[in-house]
Homo-oligomer: A and B are copies of this chain.
Amino acid sequence: MIEGSREGHPSAPGTRQPRGRKRRAEILKGARKLFAQRGFRGTSLAMLAEEIGITDAGLLYHFPNKSALLLAVLEETDREQETRMAGDLDTADANYIASWAEFGKVLEDDPVLTALDVLMSAEHLEAGSEFNEYFKGRYETFRKRLVRSFEAGRQAGVFRQDFDPLMEAALMIATLDGLRLQWLLSDGRISMAEVMRYFIGHMQARILA
């Protein structure tokens, strides 16, 4: 359904020469920033081009249209988040839980990415809209990985038998997501890092064997 990232066979435009690759990276960085500040719909190609110091037609040489650009931004941030949170998601023991306590801090350290995620998810809530499936899938995947972690920890005897992994996963994700909004709308006075540590502390009390 979502097209545009991988072209035919010859490598995508803007990736063949160093100059092009560099410009492409600048475009992605600028897009991430403006989409995070003003949303996908609130950012025009002209605004973005000006931010980068290029014309909008120049920009469209690199990405065939605005949607393809957003897709590329999302693919890039996905890769980053994957490497950042890598091991923390796919196994679980007492140490991993401790690392979950730092997820709030991780988000605070990249405010642009945090705002981007909040805004892009919200702008694509509508069923059937172009990126809706993408965001639904991302939630599903993330939640499933957490659930598997909880189950693994339970089988390893690190966690108790009588808790509901899906419930805990949904709650943990909700906490993290909700904190983003509150952090962004309180000039940072509500600390994601702090509240997340508090939350995970109590989660440990609930589920550790």
Contacts and interface: CB of A to CB of B under 8 A. Distances in A.
Interface of A: 37-39, 41-42, 115, 118-119, 121-123, 125-127, 129, 132, 135-136, 139-140, 143, 164, 167, 170-171, 173-179, 181-182, 184-187, 190, 194-195, 198-199, 202, 206
A195 B177 contact: no
A202 B195 contact: no
10 closest cross-chain pairs (CB), A and B: A174-B178, A178-B178, A122-B122, A177-B178, A41-B41, A174-B179, A41-B42, A119-B122, A170-B190, A136-B185
Q: Taking the full assembly, how many copies of this chain does it contain?
A: 2
A198 B186 contact: no
Contacts of A39: 39, 41, 122-123
Contacts of A38: 126, 129
A132 to B, nearest CB: 8
A36 to B, nearest CB: 8
A181 B122 contact: yes
A124 to B, nearest CB: 9
Which of A136, A181, A184 lies at the interface centre, i.e. has the most chain B CB atoms within 10 A of its CB?
A181
Contacts of A179: 170, 174, 178
B121 A125 contact: no
B195 A170 contact: yes
Nearest to A206: B202
A42 B164 CA distance: 39
A195 to B, nearest CB: 5
A177 B182 contact: yes
27 contacts: A39-B39, A39-B123, A42-B123, A119-B122, A119-B123, A119-B125, A121-B185, A122-B122, A122-B123, A127-B187, A135-B185, A136-B186, A136-B187, A143-B182, A167-B194, A167-B195, A170-B179, A170-B182, A170-B195, A171-B175, A171-B198, A173-B182, A174-B174, A174-B175, A177-B177, A177-B182, A178-B179
